[in-house]
């Protein structure tokens, strides 16, 4: 089941010709890392890797349920409209606020070496204190795809997300960087004793070229891929499943996960996928009761 031309190239007999693997959307983000010096008012409130798992913090968490271990890595989220697309009237950017520098958050995909390359060695030191703002693109216009690498079922597919291919996506993230800088600059508490710079940038700090360089140097996925088995009308040639999540042209087969979303949502995908599964369970039961 899939695009007939692609399956033919892979030497696989095509049973049902459907655009499986097309329409790939994903959320991406990049990091603005701010270092706090000891004279900063927020210095003691920020985290660094070596201090989080201290005995005192472990005691606070297990005995009182508070302290650094009682919070998520993302402590606050701001939703803003980049105003790049005048036809959109809802937030298309999220600003994620982390209570430490990105060197402490390897799960976001930033390696020590990559941070050194972009920001310089000081910003890649996990013992340093500071915070990170991650402008996140909620409604990307760039559309990717995935396809087979070989015919063996255990070979990894080729995933081509086409990140930042649409110019509006880059413009929105640049606007997100400027909004983040405005927020930090407008706060006397934040601004005092903070340091931010792209140490190795070939472009003048604060220009659009500088922000584009920073974005392209640090942009990563937030692991919210959707859309590759698009749901919609049976007559729509871009869809894979119908509104009841049944694969078109195949009896007794449904797809129930984030891949059925026609477009990516403006937020995390976990709860919506649970909702999709709950709805699918109801539809399966309804169809079963109708046929019996």
Burial (CB < 10 A; 0-12, 13-18, 19+), residue 269, is: buried
Strands 32-36 and 130-137: antiparallel
Among this protein's residues, is 224 annotated catalytic? yes
181 is written with which tokens? 């800088």
Give the bridge partners for 137, in sequence order.
28, 93
Which of 235, 15, 234, 236 has the alpha carbon at shortest distance from 244?
A: 234
Judge whether 80 and 176 are in contact, CB under 8 Å: yes
143 CB-side CA count, 13 A = 8
Cα(180)–Cα(33) distance, rounded to whole angstroms?
Answer: 11
Burial (CB < 10 A; 0-12, 13-18, 19+), residue 274, is: exposed
Q: Which residues are catalytic?
A: 224
């Amino acid at each position: 089941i899939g695009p007939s031309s692609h399956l033919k190239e892979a030497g696989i007999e095509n049973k049902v010709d459907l655009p499986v693997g097309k329409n790939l959307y994903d959320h991406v983000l990049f990091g603005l890392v701010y270092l706090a010096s000891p004279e900063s008012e927020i210095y003691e409130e920020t985290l660094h890797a070596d201090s989080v798992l201290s005995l005192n913090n472990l005691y606070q968490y297990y005995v009182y349920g508070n302290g650094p271990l009682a919070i998520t890595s993302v402590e606050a989220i701001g939703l803003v409209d980049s105003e790049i697309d005048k036809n959109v009237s809802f937030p298309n950017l999220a600003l994620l606020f982390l209570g430490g520098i990105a060197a402490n958050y390897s799960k976001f995909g930033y390696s020590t070496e990559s941070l050194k390359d972009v920001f310089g060695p000081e910003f890649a030191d996990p013992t340093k204190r500071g915070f990170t703002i991650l402008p996140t693109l909620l409604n990307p216009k760039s559309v990717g795809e995935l396809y087979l690498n070989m015919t063996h079922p255990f070979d990894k597919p080729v995933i081509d997300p086409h990140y930042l291919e649409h110019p509006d996506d880059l413009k929105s993230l640049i606007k997100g960087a400027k909004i983040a800088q405005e927020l930090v600059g407008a706060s006397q508490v934040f601004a005092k004793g903070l340091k931010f710079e792209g140490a190795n940038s070939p472009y003048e700090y604060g220009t659009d070229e500088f922000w584009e360089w920073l974005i392209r140097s640090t942009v990563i996925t937030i692991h919210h891929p959707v859309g590759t088995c698009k749901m919609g009308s049976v007559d729509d040639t871009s869809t894979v499943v119908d509104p009841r999540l049944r694969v078109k042209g195949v009896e007794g087969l449904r797809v129930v996960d984030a891949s059925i979303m026609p477009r990516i949502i403006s937020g995390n995908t976990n709860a919506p996928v649970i909702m999709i599964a709950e709805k699918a369970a109801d539809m399966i039961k309804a169809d079963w009761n109708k046929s019996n």
